[in-house]
Amino acid sequence: MPYTQRTPYICGSCARALSIASRRKSVRNHPNQLVKRLYGNVASSDGRSLRVAVIGSGPAGFFATKQLMKLTEDAKIDMYEHLPAPFGLLRFGVAPDHPEVKHPEVEFSELAQSSRFQFIGNVDMGRDIPLTSLIPHYDAILFAYGCTKDNKLNIPGEDLRGVYSARAFVGWYNGLPEFAGLNPNLEAGEEAIVIGQGNVAMDVARILLSSVDRLKDTDISEQALETLARNKITSVKIIGRRGPLQASFTIKEVRELINLPSVYFEPVDSSLIPLEVTNLKGMEKRRRTRILDLLQKRGPTPMNAATRSWALKFFLRPNSFKSSSGDLANLCKVNFERTALEPNADPLDIAARIHGTGELHSLEASLAFLSIGYKAEPLPGLDSVNVPFDTKKGIIPNDLYGRVISPLEGTGDLSAGHVPGMYCAGWVKRGPTGVINTTMEDAFASAEVILRDWKEGVPFLNSGIGGSTGLGWEGLRKEVEGRGLRPVSWDDWMKIDRVENERGRERGKVREKFKTIKEMLEVLD
């Protein structure tokens, strides 16, 4: 049977039913002898090592690299990143008061010391350099560049001043150059609304409600600290269009907000709390039950002793952002439609569907943050290397293991045809879901399938046309430098890193990040 018929494309509904554990057999816990037998030396028939280009230096890219280098002594990895700084969301997406989540940076930095790894920062693949330039010099390309766009509500008033995406706000306080000029006005009023109830929404609320003293020792940007020192927000409402059982925040995030010093937690309407979670089993039942228990408890700070407050509001769907008659440019309130579960929906079902009731509700707010999910976008020139992109789902079509698959000509269906040498990992593979451990498992799966395909002689880049040069970055360097670009090596990044740490120590902080690419490159010049 041809290879392309062995890995059928699985539709989204089926994919959601499959756990990562059932899709793959991890070799992480196998005895060393078995690992060597499965992969060992995977040099090609001409004795050349596997050469892989990884596009993206976030957790997915690094975890996949870690697994590739762990399972074989031959693979050589070149990692391309559009910023001079690595680590993606670990650096620019994790809340500054959660430093423990950033621990993988330590092992990634150790990994980067290997002679089989090269970091090429400040090179935006597809924009600075065409993707076709990679093809002659690599056997495989792993796309792991994550999500760079926000989902939109597409409702009236979304462009008013005071309406921000959560991604922009998080990037701003974490020093992401893209959002250095955001300058949110936290002095415009006392009411803020966060639309969405995932962990990012909880992060946004916690930063708005935290005292500056609680944040000043972290790696939050100095610019953000100065703005937060003038913060007049005293009330934050976190809005969900479904019920408490369907919210996607985690126990840790809820507990941390409830226990925030000098902050009052407004009790959740008891009529919305199910008496018992009967339709779930095992760990998921325990997790949801613990969240519901938390929501019924009062926080340690009573209302009369609090300086700020927060609340969770359910069954509200935004339909417009409004300004006041006296100030047409700035947000004044948010209008919502009340929702309800579908008549035949199980109220205990975490995936229960809702419908609008027609009843309207308004909340005053000078700030609104949209935390309704991220979306990947296609790199320029993906089609030139025969890699498709599903714009509706915001992913590169794949077979769940990480093999990029191509659509059938003349139809909208997807075949099981693997695009030779093309793979993906992380959010561009499965969408913006899960936590760091989810990304790690997913990236390991992609790495393992690359090695398995290589060992089994599956067609890779340049198969049948003389093969890859195997030069990798060395084959691309002259073209990059000839375009006037300034590639940043790992040694270069370590210099930037040292200066950021020094700047932080001078301010009594963990680090002070550079806000712009220009500032980072000036360290090297």
Binding site annotation covers 434? yes
Binding site annotation covers 200? yes
Give the C-alpha separation, 106 to 112, whole Å. 10
Q: Which of 342, 374, 406 is the last residue of a domain?
A: 374
Global pTM reads 0.89
Give the C-alpha separation, 232 to 525, whole Å. 41
Q: Which alpha helices (H) appear in 179-281, and where do they start and end?
A: 199-209, 212-215, 222-229, 251-258
Handedness of CA 332, 164, 234, 226 (dihedral sign): negative
Tokens of 102: 């950033």
Binding site annotation covers 436? yes
Q: Which of 327, 349, 374 is the last residue of a domain?
A: 374
Of the candidate ranges 64-68, 276-280, 316-320, the one whose mean pLDDT is the lowest = 276-280
pLDDT band at 74 (very low <50, low <70, confident <90, very high): confident
Binding site annotation covers 488? no
Q: Which of 410, 387, 384, 385 is nearest to 397 (CA)?
A: 387
Binding site annotation covers 236? no
Phi (first) and psi of residue 36, to 5 degrees: -65, -35
Mark whether 161 and 269 lie in a shared domain: yes
Binding site annotation covers 242? yes
Q: Which residue has the higher pLDDT, 29 or 333?
A: 333
Mark whether 228 and 118 lie in a shared domain: no
Binding site annotation covers 67? no
Q: Which alpha helices (H) appear in 230-299, and where do they start and end?
A: 251-258, 282-295
Mark whether 326 and 393 lie in a shared domain: no
Binding site annotation covers 317? no
Q: Is the pLDDT of residue 345 over 90?
A: no
Mark whether 143 and 287 lie in a shared domain: no
Q: Which alpha helices (H) appear in 20-139, and where do they start and end?
A: 20-23, 32-38, 59-71, 89-92, 104-111
Mark whether 231 and 370 lie in a shared domain: yes
Binding site annotation covers 342? no
Mark whether 45 and 164 lie in a shared domain: no
Count structural domains, the chain.
3
Mark whether 86 and 111 lie in a shared domain: yes
* Per-residue pLDDT tens over the stretch 104-145: 999 999 999 999 999 999 999 999 999 999 999 999 999 999
3-state helix vs strand vs coil in the chain, percent to 5: 35, 20, 45
Q: What is the pLDDT of residue 45?
A: 43
Binding site annotation covers 482? no
* CATH at 160: 3.50.50.60
Mark whether 80 and 226 lie in a shared domain: no
Binding site annotation covers 81? yes
Mark whether 190 and 265 lie in a shared domain: yes
* CATH at 136: 3.40.50.720
Handedness of CA 395, 401, 407, 411 (dihedral sign): negative
Binding site annotation covers 199? yes
Mark whether 189 and 332 lie in a shared domain: yes
pLDDT band at 6 (very low <50, low <70, confident <90, very high): very low
Mark whether 137 and 155 lie in a shared domain: no
* Per-residue pLDDT tens over the stretch 207-245: 999 999 999 999 999 999 999 999 999 999 999 999 998
Are β-strands 414-424 and 140-143 bridged in parallel, bridged antiparallel, or unpaired? parallel
Partner residues linked to 362 by β-bridges: 335
Mark whether 330 and 220 lie in a shared domain: yes
Domain of 225, in residue numbers: 151-374
Give the C-alpha separation, 208 to 226, whole Å. 13
